[in-house]
Amino acid sequence: MHKDDMILISVDDHIIEPPDMFKNHLPAKYVDEAPRLVHNPDGSDTWQFRDTVIPNVALNAVAGRPKEEYGLEPQGLDEIRKGCYDAAERVKDMNAGGVLATMNFPSFPGFAARLFATEDTEFSLALVQAYNDWHIHEWCGSHPGRFIPMAIPAIWDPKLCADEVRRVSKKGVHSLTFTENPSALGYPSFHDLEYWKPLWDALVDTDTVMNVHIGSSGRLAITAPDAPMDVMITLQPMNIVQAAADLLWSAPIKAYPDLKIALSEGGTGWIPYFLDRVDRTYEMHSTWTHQDFGDKLPSQVFREHFMTCFISDPVGVKNRHAIGVDNICWEMDYPHSDSMWPGAPEELHAVFDTYDVPDDEINKITHENAMRLYHFEPFKHIPREQATVGALRKQAEGHDVSIQALSKHEKADGGDSWQASLEKVTEMQR
């Protein structure tokens, strides 16, 4: 397949929320209490909600900027591409990058919307519903066929969470962002079948995918306090391995044959070994641990329930058959620092070419698996021949995607240890 003939759907991108997002969707009685974007004297913009301050950390929005500007400094909206927070501009950036559609995770509320869990349940639910309605109707609804809608959860209450899944499913949403480890956030773990039962029921009844994104537990990999930041960046995807093991061995996987889970931004290269390991564990220990997958191996059950996702993962593509080609989706991660935008087609096609991936497998990985998993039908709105890399880029001719230095801060210091960097971010939030 020629690069320009690929059709790309990314199942993991991110929104830097705009300041007016609550304007049209939050009940009037809560408007004064809503999170607000504040422009600070140093030029940065921070989301503030009660006593919590959430900076726009630079690594979360570096698309189109030189690597010298990567870092942890808080920044203003005028220091990032408009496509980070403006849907119309995002579509222009997607066209220029040859990408048909994306699914976008939240930023300031956290992946599991933990920020909105207040002592006032009614207010908390209003915030979650306002966010979801903004995302569905304004962000996704503004450009049909270009965005896969995703809901955030009412994580503090399984029944309310289930009700919200059912509510948004009527609006065409089949994607829920969640945490990779509920117990890390103070809630019962995935192994507590009864506690989360309303949510499992709702997910299966509506055919909604639970997306567990790396970093969504708020926990960092354990390493030396003085280890450089490079260690943490390297290890960050490892949290998803723990989430995969937790979920695969959990009771819900056995109780709900139709439950679907996506391991967002977790990569794929580790999965063949993981599947070998879980099968070996089952063979050697199930007689005394009392695990029971019936007449199936854990690796078979994994392929029935889990979608895996990668940005740039040559090892995973090479070993795609050991993973399962039907279990792999591609992601771009715009506008984060791991993103390959705007050169995704070139980088991805080079990997496919290296490992002689046939056209039918390319189609599954680049868009067909995503469409099937999330019940997404972009070709109802955009003819297939206008959805290719080449066609989209032709529409975007003249759109500036050049690397531009936008930071008004001093050059980032990347020499801090991860502990020092964490303390820096914590200080920003005070």
Predicted confidence (pLDDT) per residue in 358-367, tens digit: 999 999 999 9
- Domain for residue 376, yes or no? yes
- Give which of 301, 411, 406, 389 is closest to 7, Cα–Cα: 389
- Give the Cα-Cα-Cα angle 181, 185, 188 (nearest 5 degrees): 70
Does the pLDDT of residue 102 top 80, yes or no? yes
- Domain for residue 161, yes or no? yes
Query: Which domain CATH number covers 364?
Result: 3.20.20.140
Confidence of residue 420 (pLDDT cuts 50, 70, 90): very low
- Domain carrying residue 131: 3-33+97-380
- Domain for residue 58, yes or no? no
Region 405-425: what's the mean pLDDT?
54
> E strand or H helix at 46, and its extent?
strand 45-49
- Answer whether 340's CB lies under 8 Å from 332's CB: yes
Specify the higher pLDDT residue, 393 or 417. 393
**What pTM was estimated for this model as a whole?**
0.92
- Domain for residue 423, yes or no? no
Helix axes 158-169, 197-206, angle to 10 degrees: 10
Number of domains in the chain: 1
- Domain for residue 156, yes or no? yes
- Domain for residue 393, yes or no? no
Region 248-265: what's the mean pLDDT?
97
pLDDT value at position 336?
Answer: 87
Compute the mean pLDDT over every residue in the chain, rounded to the nearest whole number: 91
- Domain for residue 191, yes or no? yes
- Domain for residue 173, yes or no? yes
C-alpha–C-alpha distance, residues 175 and 168, integer Å = 9
